[in-house]
Amino acid sequence: MIMEKKRVRLTVAYDGTNYHGWQIQNNGITIESELNRCLSDLLGEPVEVIGASRTDSGVHALENIAVFDTESPMPAEKISYALNQRLPEDIRIQRSEEVAADWHPRHCKSRKTYEYRIYRGEFPMPVRRLYAYFTYRSLCVEDMREAAAYLVGEHDFKSFCQTGAQVESTVRTIYLIEVEEQGVELVIRVCGNGFLYNMVRIIAGTLMEVGQGRRAPSDMPAILDAKDRRAAGPTAPAHGLTLMRYEFL
């Protein structure tokens, strides 16, 4: 009996609070390890997913992408329902569908949108503590917007890449950055063709320094030109970050 193999794409949402990030690690449960465990269990064969964005510990996602190959006769569209029965409730498949056998989530053009959320108040708000970074400092939103505008376009974002990351090129394109006020929360929304390690969190940390008046918006070109991580601001904490959307072009 010849089993037909197919490649299945999953759209995966998760609350990153209780995970050691996406990628499999020796010392903790990850989104990838939970997907592999539950898929292997469901389909009765060893399954290993390939993820699109290997988000850090504490980072959330409404739409991350994973693919895997299977010989199971289960229709690709049904896998979402069956898999959600086995996954812990802080991981939920939003969609499952068959894709071409050679489709790879990191080898095709895509556009990703991240949001970094900041809760501004005198005291933290418990129901937002896991999803927005708390600050009691006042932030000048106009200055943050002016600074953000310098990052739009194709640039070498080496200054906004965690040192130690191994990548061929540190050039990326940012299509859009918005700094949006939603009541007491401030949302930094960044859409680009790809992001370096910790790039959105370093952008958020740098824009917050601008908002506090510790840097001028007009400092941004020099930060980019430095191509040195030390030129940019701190890496903002992980829990404020959410991967919102993944679009394949």
Instruction: Provide the b/e sequence for 196-207 (b: ≥16 CB within 10 Å).
Output: bbbbbbbbbbbb
Please measure the distance between the N-terminal and C-terminal CA atoms of the chain and give it in whole angstroms. 37
Whichever of 108 and 136 has its CB closer to a second copy, that residue is 136
Q: How far is the CB of 14 from a second copy (least distance, A)?
A: 5
Q: Name the maximum alpha-carbon separation found in the chain.
A: 69
Q: How far is the CB of 212 from a second copy (least distance, A)?
A: 21
Whichever of 14 and 197 has its CB closer to a second copy, that residue is 14
Instruction: Provide the b/e sequence for 9-44 (b: ≥16 CB within 10 Å).
Output: bbbbbbbbeebbbbebeeeeebbbbbbbebbeebbe
How far apart, in whole angstroms, are the C-alpha atoms of residue 176 and residue 193? 10
Which residues fall within 8 angstroms of residue 18, CB to CB, at 6 or more apart?
29, 90
Q: How far is the CB of 17 from a second copy (least distance, A)?
A: 9
Handedness of CA 141, 147, 149, 153 (dihedral sign): negative
Given the rule CB under 8 A, which residues bind a second copy? 13-15, 60, 62, 80, 84, 89-94, 121-127, 129, 131, 242
Catalytic residues: 56
Whichever of 121 and 213 has its CB closer to a second copy, that residue is 121
Whichever of 157 and 246 has its CB closer to a second copy, that residue is 246
Q: How far is the CB of 150 from a second copy (least distance, A)?
A: 30
